[in-house]
Every structure is written in structure tokens, then in C-alpha cells.
Amino acid sequence: MLLRARFVYPVSAPLIEDGFVRMAAGKVVEVGEWSKCADRAGVEELGEVILLPGFVNAHCHLDYTDFAGEIPSPVSFAQWLKAMVALKAKVEDSAHCESWLRGARQAVSHGVTTLGNIETRRSCLTELWASTPLRMVSFLEIILLKAESDSVQAVKELNEWLTLNSPPRGKTGISPHAPYTTKLDLLQECAQFSGMTMAMHVAESSEEDQMFRHGKGPLWQMLKTAGRNMDDCAGSFPLEGVKAAGLLNDRMLLIHGNYLDSLDVDQVADSGASVVHCPRSHEYFGHRSFLLKDFREAGVNLCLGTDSLATMSDAHAQVDLFSEIQRFDLQNEDIADEDLIEMVTVNAARALGMHGEVGCLQPGAFADLFTLPYSGEANGVKKAIIGHKGPVEAVMIDGQWVDEYMEAA
Ligand SMILES: [Zn+2]
């Protein structure tokens, strides 16, 4: 298969005016200038478009898509957690699947082809995987906080499930939910998944910070009441358990990291772990400013994610990575356009352990891409990508156009 476009932006290489992408067996085999394309047989002329690699959304909870606008911007993080627990308790499997699939369609319609998702219901997952063309990195969530809960048994069951199940495109990972909903022996057990990509919500709220560093506050109180042993709080820090269990490494994707201090940032940088920032969720909670400068200076791999629509006040919000890019761009005017695009492509691919496979157009990468209509000049291409609103023009995953799937969004 051969595609020709007015502009091809591989991200892993400079912008090409009048370019082509050749694919075979679902993979990219050649990218270059049309004038240097030797075999032109069967070319599909895409015309006045920008062709670029499918976006990689590094963090999402698809099953909460239908919670958009359900929880007004909360006074405290603990208050939001309580509202979430109540909302989730009412959701049947059928509603869970509908919400997940609605979110998946929204993601694809907005140019995402690989998605890092936190999965809460194993029993639904094989059916869900079969119902989307998305390349999934499905992180199986583990929450185990009661002092008497059996971590060994929980991890054994998860391991057995992971041995038997994997998505048709993509892979599985694990997600010990957060330091406050897990305990050290559980994190230590998770060290047996050392070859897998992991994702964990860490240092998300000031209340989590207060819980670990000072042993008090609304989150501390809520979890103590829920039966968590709080001996690891006070004089500690949110990353301590992750580090002590040996999970702080280049296969760890830290979600949020809003309240890490400068010492933590250096440790994250040394470990090779990545950080995913979710601008709309960040704004919803009114967290302190994201540590962009600190992370960048320390050399941390940074990417963007949508998080879930349960942290959006707007009932019409969608799983739309462009909205996150635009929000982030507004808040950080000094970030270069190409750096911003890298946060939803090559950086996010690296964070999910898929460097060179997704988020770029180069030989060996999956044939995952999308197009945006564009008739301007070369110097406006990156701004046009960043500023795009609404669905994209066309999406290809694994060498297949997915128009029909997008129309159902
Ligand atoms: Zn999340």
C-alpha cells in the first residue's frame, strides 16, 4: 500500500512536503519525498492533507466516559473519590462496556491509534478488545488497601489471567492504582511483573502529599477509616513505596506527579521512569502548577494523556487528546510546537514501552496514522496540528482505514 500526501510529518524525522508512506503487512516500510519514490504503482492520492503518525494517549480510563459532567469540580480530592466510589457501584457490566466503547470511538475519531488504558473489569476485557480497532496498552488495575487483604493471592490471580489474555493489537500491563490504595507488600509482589509496563497514579493531590508526608488530612482520615494500615505515613513521601518495592524504573509510567518535590524529580529522572500529565483533569482539581520546567531540566520523559471524563465538569467533553494539547499549549506558551507534538507521539510511545513501534512513521513502525485537511504552507503545519478541533479526516490502524468505526462515534 502506498499513500501520497501534500505533507507527511513522521515526527521521528523532519516534515516532508509532497511525501509518501509505503506499507506492507501492517507495517511502514518506506517514508520519503514523492520525487524519490521509485515504485508508484497503486498509489492512493490523499491530496491536501497532513499525514502523521496516530497519536498515543498515554493515560485514560475509557470505562468512565459516561461520567462526563457527573461530578462538579470538587472541594477536595477525597470528596471526589467518595463520589466516584458511589458512581462506580451503580454501573452494570453492560453500561461499563458501552461507556468504554464510546470512549474508544471518541479517541479514534480524534486521531488516537494507541491508548494506555486503566482496566477495572477483567471479565469484560476480551470482548471489549475485540470490539475496537485501537492498539491497546491495557493496564490491569489493582486496588488492595485493607491491612488484612492477601496481596500474594491477588497478584497470583492477576498473573494467571495475564498469562492467558492479551489484546489482538497492543499488550497488557499492570497498574497498582496509587500509593494510597495499595500497600508495600502488594507493590513488592508486583515486582514479579518486572518485564511489563506499569502505570501508577502518584503524587496526584495535595491531600495525598499531606497523607504521606504529615500523616493527616482528609485522604489520610478516609483511608484509615477504610481499614488501611497508615504506618507508612508521616515522614514519608508518595513515591517511597514505589521505590522501596523496586518499581521505580524505566518501565514505570507515573501518572500526574503534581506534588513531587525537587528530590523526587531527580529520582524519577535517574530511574528512567516517564510522567504523564493530563491538563484538563489537572485544571478540574485546581492542582498547583505542573512542574514542566523541573521535569524538563531533569530530563524526564513527559507525555500527555486525557485521564477520564469523570474529571471534566463539561457533560459534552470527549476523550479528545487535541483538547489536552491545546489546554497545555495555552498554559505553557514557551514550549516549542514540535516538543508538544512529541508528547503525544514519540514520548508517549516510549512511556508505554513501544518506542519505534508507534507514534512515529519510520520503517518497522506499525502502519498507524491519520490525516488532517490542510492547504497552507509548510511553516504552518505544526500549528495546524496543534490547533486542530473536532474529528480528524481519516484514521488508519494496522494498515487498515477505520472510517466505518469513526462514523459510529
Ligand atoms: Zn487516572
Distances (CA, A) of 383 to 336, 349, 379: 10, 22, 8
Between the CA of 22 and the centroid of ligand 1 the distance, in Å, is: 36
Average pLDDT on 207-233 reads 95
Assess whether pLDDT exceeds 80 at residue 95: yes
pLDDT tier, 29 (very low <50, low <70, confident <90, very high otherwise): very high
* Among 256, 143, 259, 137, residue whose Cα is nearest residue 190: 143
Between the CA of 223 and the centroid of ligand 1 the distance, in Å, is: 18
Same-fold call for 2-54+360-407 versus 59-351: no
327 in Cβ contact with 342 (< 8 Å): no
321 in Cβ contact with 56 (< 8 Å): no
The Cα 213–Cα 234 span in angstroms is: 5
- pLDDT of 164 reads 97
Average pLDDT on 36-54 reads 97
Task: Could you list the beta-strand ranges (E) of 143-235.
Answer: 170-176, 198-202
Scanning the structure block, which residue is given the C-alpha cell 494500615?
A: 229
Scanning the structure block, which residue is given the C-alpha cell 474529571?
A: 311
Residue 200 C-alpha cell reads as 501508577
Between the CA of 276 and the centroid of ligand 1 the distance, in Å, is: 10
Assess whether pLDDT exceeds 70 at residue 274: yes
Average pLDDT on 267-274 reads 98
Model-level pTM? Answer: 0.96
Assess whether pLDDT exceeds 80 at residue 409: no
Average pLDDT on 46-68 reads 97
Between the CA of 59 and the centroid of ligand 1 the distance, in Å, is: 7
Between the CA of 254 and the centroid of ligand 1 the distance, in Å, is: 10
Residue 67 C-alpha cell reads as 461520567
Assess whether pLDDT exceeds 90 at residue 408: no
The Cα 62–Cα 307 span in angstroms is: 9
Between the CA of 277 and the centroid of ligand 1 the distance, in Å, is: 10
Task: Could you list the beta-strand ranges (E) of 183-231.
Answer: 198-202
Between the CA of 281 and the centroid of ligand 1 the distance, in Å, is: 9
The Cα 75–Cα 60 span in angstroms is: 23
Between the CA of 355 and the centroid of ligand 1 the distance, in Å, is: 22
The Cα 168–Cα 256 span in angstroms is: 29
Amino acid occupying residue 129: W
Name the superfamily (CATH) of residues 59-351: Metal-dependent hydrolases (3.20.20.140)
Assess whether pLDDT exceeds 70 at residue 140: yes
* Among 128, 110, 207, residue whose Cα is nearest residue 170: 128
Average pLDDT on 69-85 reads 90
Q: Roughly how many angstroms between the first and final C-alpha of the chain, as a whole number?
A: 27
- pLDDT of 263 reads 94
Between the CA of 308 and the centroid of ligand 1 the distance, in Å, is: 6
Between the CA of 227 and the centroid of ligand 1 the distance, in Å, is: 23
Assess whether pLDDT exceeds 80 at residue 407: no
The mean pLDDT of the chain is 96
The Cα 8–Cα 12 span in angstroms is: 11
| pLDDT tens-digit readout, 191-206 | 999 899 999 999 999 9
Residue 297: partners with Cβ closer than 8 Å, 6 or more residues away: none
Assess whether pLDDT exceeds 80 at residue 27: yes
Distances (CA, A) of 314 to 71, 311, 330: 10, 9, 19
Locate the domains of the chain by residue range.
Answer: 2-54+360-407, 59-351
Q: Cα 205 to the chain's mean position, in Å?
A: 19
Between the CA of 374 and the centroid of ligand 1 the distance, in Å, is: 34
Burial label, 255 (beta-carbon count in 10 A; 0-12, 13-18, 19+): buried
Between the CA of 178 and the centroid of ligand 1 the distance, in Å, is: 10
Between the CA of 251 and the centroid of ligand 1 the distance, in Å, is: 17
The DSSP H or E segment spanning 349 is helix 346-351
For the chain, give the percent of residues with pLDDT over 70.
Answer: 99
Assess whether pLDDT exceeds 90 at residue 186: yes
CATH class of 2-54+360-407: mainly beta
pLDDT tier, 350 (very low <50, low <70, confident <90, very high otherwise): very high
Average pLDDT on 24-30 reads 98
Tell me if residue 45 falls in helix, strand or coil.
strand
Assess whether pLDDT exceeds 90 at residue 216: yes
| pLDDT tens-digit readout, 305-331 | 999 999 998 999 999 999 999 999 999
- pLDDT of 333 reads 83
